[in-house]
Every structure is written in structure tokens, then in C-alpha cells.
Amino acid sequence: MAQAFEAIMLICFGISWPFNIAKSLKSRTAKGKSLQFEICVVVGYLFGIAGKFIGGNVTYVLAVYILDVLMVSTDIVLTCRNRRLDRLAEAKEGSAAE
């Protein structure tokens, strides 16, 4: 029963990431995004995964952890891409103003 509750928690947390990924793809900006927050989330998931292995409790819940890590990692990549796009846009605006 505890594993089911853990899986539900992870699914609830994970539901938001596809929306964040879609927003990152569509907006093409990193404004309002926190790379540090996303990294902390991945680190938390990685510790959860490690806890599964250390405790010898590797079950289907591990798949949900991995899916969540993949989604957050995708959003991290998009945030980095969007930061680069933001810098390019700012440079372009700066050169146009001269």
C-alpha cells in the first residue's frame, strides 16, 4: 500500500512537467524559470531512486521516478536553450539600438 501512495505522489508531481515542457517549447524564453529549482528537483528524485536501491525496495515505483527525472531533465535542457535564446535576443536588441 505504501508503494501505491508513493507512486501516486510521484505521478501528482510528475503531471506538471509535461505542461512546463510545452510552455518552454512554446515561449522560447527562460524568463520566470529557475534552473536551480529544476536541478534540486532532479537531485531529490535521484536520492529517491538511490533510496529504492539501498533499501532493496526496487519496484514499479522506480519507473515513475525515472519518468519524472527524464521530464525534468528535458525541461532543464529547454531552460538552457531558452536562456541562450534570451541572450541572443538581448544582444540583437542591443545592436539594433546603436
pLDDT digits (tens, 9 = 90+) for 3-41: 899 999 999 999 999 999 999 999 999 999 999 999 999
Where do we find the cell 535521484? 46
pTM (two decimals): 0.88
Cα distances (angstroms) measured from residue 1 to each of 4, 8, 53: 5, 11, 19
